[in-house]
Structure 1
Amino acid sequence: MSGDCSKRSVVVIGAGVIGASIAYYLARTGAQVTVIDRIGPSAGASGASDGSVSVATKAPGVLMNLAIRSREQYVGLADKGGVMQGAYFSRSTFLAAANDWEVAAMHAQADELSRAGVSLKVTEGSDIQKSIPCLASNISGLVEVQGEGHAVGYKVVDRFLRASGAKVICEASALKLQPGVKSGRGPTVQTSEGVIEADDVVVAAGLGSNALLPWLNLWPRRGQLIVTERRRSVYKLPGNFIFASYLLEKKKADVGQSVDSGSAARACALVIDPLPYDQYLIGGTREEDDDDQHTEFAAVQRILARAVEYMPFLGEMSVIRVFAGVRAATPDGLPYLGQVKEAPGLWVATGFEGDGICLAPLAGDAMARMMAGKDIPPGVEALAPDSPQRKRRES
């Protein structure tokens, strides 16, 4: 990105993956960036993410198209000498199905991905187990989404922040915003450590953005996740596996008891993700309006039972960690990204829910382009926070 924001002072509120990416891309334009966070880098959702850089489960339309573009940006950033070299690696994502309604959902998503130009490979019947022997025989459908990737959240944050040269202030809560005025004075941020003045302020604080901009009306969505011990196995998954119940859960489809909506075991949408060093990340739940990071035995038990049902070799491994991540969701499923109308110098980049890792390069690049008055990628305009078309969730 080549716009010029030389000597422009920008405060970014939030040191997660979105805030860090914005700091990086703004610094490339010459801006002087300060990042503040009430705890520190990756202390929120970015530090409890699965690291998936994937378009496989994205809703068709704006979000899928932007994810495709951001995925391509990661590849460029990971080139030799790039900021993500050694932190991002390519792999496939596999959509899997074990019953008729999952097969239907899997094929419907595959059709949307194909129309968007994503490379796919469909495998069915006995050919599934021939290609990946560790899968149980009850898996009846498999779609390999090619050209995907993985990047650990805290590593992405660290790389972006270090490369940006931004001043990072930890344990500084943003308490109040004062927008700028059209005559030229920029906005100010009242923090627990004092007042900071800047030409521009970007609110990228996840759920914490609500305290500064209540009209965003973000709400929490929690997911409980499991990490296995490190153990070498004769089996090696070629990528992360997402079962089609995940797609249905995202769409709020009515599938009866199959997703256990409202049960004590929580809604389970199975994802099995091979990690470096022979570990697996297994998830997870999708729980509305719960910002508590505790975990529940019944939910963990259900997740593990499903994982072992479809990949029996996992039953030989021990669990070493169970945790929950809480993400900021928006009413229409699209993040907020853009300038706040009638508030000079005030910008917002929040509500990315589970898409923050994937969309981070796109979001940072687009924000820097907007501030520099440059063209933005097609579709970004749909994320404008004040668009009258955006849905507002009833309180």
Structure 2
Amino acid sequence: MESADVVVVGAGIIGAACAEALSASGRRVLVVDRGAPAGATTAAGEGNVLLSDKAPGPELDLALASRRRWPELLESLRGELGEALADVEWEAKGGLVVATDQDSITPLRIITEAQREAGVEVRDLGQAAARALEPHLTTAITAAAHYPGDAQVQPVLAATALLAAVRARGGAVCGGTAVEGLIVKGGKVAGVRVGGEAVPCGAVVNACGPWAGHFSITAGAPIEVLPRRGMVLVTAPLPPLVARKVYAADYVASVASGDVDLQVSPVVESTPTGTVLIGSSRQRTGFDESLEVEVLRRLARGAVRLFPVLERVPVMRAYGGFRPYTPDHLPVIGRDPRIPGLWHASGHEGAGVGLAPGTGRMLADLMDGRRPEVDPVPFRVDRPALMAQIKA
């Protein structure tokens, strides 16, 4: 295995976006993944590019920058790779958040007003306007909010396109290959150990998603990134039924919750193939991969409450995946102060696809000594929420 300027460990959407941005800045990048590229968390995702589920703050700032970046990046990839390789099923279809009881109206209006002040395009709607956008919605709507900026991509195709650009620029992508540890000389990164072989490099990026915590321990610089499990139902292909991503207003609270116990909030959206994806669940179960029937039942019941027309629609399959979770719900992006040359890009939980372009650009800017578009300080490795683990 040849030397590289940077080794990115992890070939999911975040690792792919970091590798693309670093190769665009002129570096030779090697991407290494113990499994198939885009085969773990990214393959289990829905491809959401969302502004609607984020309260004002650092994550929303990064989401806004990433949402601006996605179309520009895809246009650049089309020019570089051709239409076929750069087709990631981008859909700027918008999102709809709905309240179905009186108690949810005020919290929904409070967050939409705050998001507007932060630069998000959002329209407050009543029942009639919401059902005009989504005619199959339940009539039990008390309020709704429309987010024209919400979008969706096919996550595996998106990661594959980013990795194809890395290869086209002289980099390499190696799946089925585990990085066994860092090589540190003179107190800084000098390479990685792969299959008993030393691969020289000047920097290493930990983009291992839910396994970033494990890799950080192997690297000798632990960070607290934990797996948080989610499950999704997939219906058989249907005629056009749901035009946007539609979810209940309590989904935002579920995303922000740090509870270990199961959190379920209905989320429904269609794909270009006609299938309907039904989520969303969050549960801290370690790396337990077993499907839980009760979780699937709750997902199905929640979807039917939003869209009664789904009651008799057959479910084709169900799958689960692990999101990378941090205690303060913010990604970890930037240099590790303990080992010069070690960088982290993880902890995006379920927002990795949406935040990927901004994350890659921020990491490349920091590595090049440029000032990033988004303030990197809230995402730093040595922030207080992670400090206890870092000191351990």
- The two structures have a TM-score, normalised by structure 2, of 0.89
What corresponds to 1:169 in structure 2? 174
Aligned to 1:232: 239
- 1:159 pairs with one of 154, 158, 161: 161
1:220 to 214, 218, 227: 227
2:350 is paired with a residue whose SS is: helix
Query: 1:228 touches 1:320 (CA, 8 Å); kept in 2?
Result: yes
The letter of the residue matching 2:17 is S
Moved more, 194-203 or 206-215: 206-215
1:206 aligned to which of 209, 231, 243: 209
| Counterpart residue number, 2:255 | 250
Residues 131-146 of structure 1 aligned to structure 2 (within 5 Å): 131-146=133-148
Q: Tell me which of 296, 300, 317 is aligned to 1:321.
A: 317
The 2-side partners of 1:392 and 1:282 are apart by: 37
Please state how far the C-alpha of 1:169 moved relative to its aligned partner. Answer: 1.4
Cα distance in 2 for residues equivalent to 1:130 and 1:172: 51
Q: What pairs with 1:355-370 in structure 2 (closer than 5 Å)?
A: 355-370=351-366
What is the count of residue pairs matched by the alignment?
376
- Say if 2:183 and 2:190, in contact at 8 Å, map to a contact too: yes
Return the offset for 1:75. 1.9
Give the 3-state SS of the residue equivalent to 2:75 in structure 1. coil
Matched AA of 1:181: G
The residue aligned with 1:10 is 6
| Match 1:22 to one of 10, 18, 24 | 18
The 1-side partners of 2:5 and 2:258 are apart by 46
Q: How far did residue 332 of structure 1 move? A: 0.9
Distance 2:293 2:343 in 1: 41
Other structure's SS at 1:67 match: helix
Moved more, 306-315 or 288-297: 288-297
Kept in 1, the 8 Å contact 2:258–2:327? The answer is: no
2:293 aligns to what?
Answer: 297
Counterpart residue number, 1:86: 87
Q: Is the 8 A contact 2:269 2:277 kept in 1?
A: yes
Q: CA deviation at 1:387?
A: 2.9
Distance 2:160 2:73 in 1: 14
Q: Which region of structure 1 is more displaced relative to structure 2, 45-54 or 305-314?
A: 305-314
Q: How far apart are the structure 2 equivalents of 1:303 and 1:171?
A: 33
- Give the one of 263, 267, 275 matched to 2:263: 267
Contact (CA 8 Å) 2:63, 2:354: kept in 1 or not? Answer: yes
Return the TM-score normalized by structure 1.
Answer: 0.89
Shift of 1:43: 1.8
Conserved 8 A contact 1:118-1:146: no
Provide, for residues 171-214 of structure 1, a one-character-per-residue CA deviation record: whole Å limited to 9, x for no partner. Answer: 111222233536xx742212235221201111111122222323
Q: Give distance in 2, aligned partners of 1:339 and 1:17.
A: 19
Per-residue Cα deviation, 1:118-149 (whole angstroms, up to 9, x for no partner): 11121113443344321111122110011221
Residue matched to 1:258? none
Q: Structure 1 residues 252 and 209, CA, compared in 2 at 3 Å: closer, same or farther?
A: closer
Q: Which runs of 4+ in 1 moved over 4 A?
A: 82-85, 388-395
Q: Report SS of the residue matched to 1:282.
A: strand
Q: For residues 118 and 289 of structure 1, do their structure 2 counterparts lie closer, same or farther at Cα, with a shift above 3 Å needed?
A: same
* Gapped regions of structure 2 (runs ≥ 5): none
Q: Would the aligned equivalents of 1:181 and 1:343 in 2 still touch at CA under 8 Å?
A: no
Percent identity, please: 26
* Preserved CA contact (<8 Å) 1:219 1:289: no
- Match of residue 198 from structure 2: 195
Q: Using the alignment, how far apart are the partners of 1:252 and 1:90 within structure 2?
A: 28
Going from structure 1 to structure 2, the CA distance change for 1:283 and 1:110 (only over 3 Å counts) comes to: same
Give the equivalent residue in structure 1 for 2:377.
Answer: 381
Q: Aligned Cα RMSD in Å?
A: 2.3
